[in-house]
Chains A and B, each alone.
Chain A
Amino acid sequence: MINKYTTVYHASSISEIQMILKNIAGISLVAGCTEIARRQTGRALHLQANVLSLAKIPELCTIAKTERYIEFGPCVTLDAILQLGKKNIPDALYDSVCTIANPGVRAIATLGGNIAAKGQRLSTFAALLALDTRLEIRTPYEAAWIPMARYFSNTGKPQSKDPEFISKIRVPTESWDISIHRRIGQSGIVTDRTASFTFLVKFQKNVLADIRIAYAGKFFFRKREFENLMIGRTLPLSEKDMINLMDKAELFFEKDLFPPSYERKCLFNLLEESLRELT
Chain B
Amino acid sequence: MIIPFELNGNMVYIDSNPGERLVHILRRRFNLLASKEGCLSGRCGSCMILLDGNPIPSCIVPVFQIRNASIVTLEHFSKSDDYGDIKEGFENAGVSMCGFCDAGKILVANAIVSSDVRMSKEEIKAMFSGNMCRCTSIDDLVAGVKNAIAIRRKRKNDK
A 34-77 to B, binary, CB cutoff 8 A, 1 in contact else 0: 10111001011111000101011000000000000000000000
**Residue interface bits B50-65, CB-to-A below 8 A is 1, else 0:** 0100111101111011
Docked CA distance A109–B42 (Å) = 11
Which residues of the other chain, B, contact A36 by a CB distance below 8 angstroms? 62
Q: Is B130 an interface residue (CB 8 A)?
A: yes
Task: Decide: A104 near B19, CB < 8 A? Known: A8-B64, A10-B67, A188-B129.
Answer: no
Query: B45, B64, B104 — which one has the most chain A CB atoms within 10 A of its CB?
Result: B64
Report B-chain residues with C-beta under 8 Å of the C-beta of A43: 21, 24, 40
Whether the Cβ atoms of A103 and B1 lie closer than 8 Å is no
Taken together as a complex, chains A and B put the C-alpha atoms of A189 and B17 apart, in Å, by 28
Chain B residues positioned under 8 Å from A34 (CB to CB)? 42, 60
B61 touches A104 (CB 8 A): no
| Contact string against B for A residues 65-109, beta-carbon threshold 8 Å, 1 for contact and 0 otherwise | 000000000000001000000000000000000000111110110
Tell whether, in the assembled complex, residue B18 and residue A33 are in contact, meaning their CB atoms are under 8 Å apart: no
Residue of B at shortest CB range from A77? Answer: B54
State in angstroms the CA–CA spacing of A37 and B41 once bound together: 7
From DSSP, what is the main secondary structure of chain B's interface residues? mixed
Q: Once the chains bind, are A2 and B20 in contact (CB under 8 Å)?
A: yes
CB of A4 closer than 8 Å to a CB of B: yes
- Would you call B65 and A53 a contact (CB within 8 A)? yes
A105 near B21 (CB under 8 angstroms)? no
Kindly state the separation between the CA atoms of A53 and B68 in the bound complex, as whole angstroms: 13
Choice from B19, B67, B129 contacting A103 with Cβ under 8 Å: B129
A32's closest neighbor in chain B, by CB?
A: B65
Q: Which residues of B contact A175 (CB under 8 A)?
A: none
Residues of A within 8 A of B20 (CB): 2, 44-45
Residue A6 interfacial (CB < 8 Å): yes
Instruction: Tell me, in angstroms, the Cα distance from A102 to B84 when the chains sit together.
Output: 25
Q: Among residues 81 to 103 in chain B, which have CB atoms less than 8 Å away from a CB atom of chain A? A: none
User: Cα distance A242–B18 when bound, in Å?
Assistant: 55
Q: Quick check: is A3 within 8 A (CB to CB) of the other chain? A: yes
**What are the 7 tightest A-B residue pairs by CB atom distance, in nearest-first order?**
A102-B130, A37-B60, A45-B19, A107-B54, A102-B129, A104-B130, A8-B64
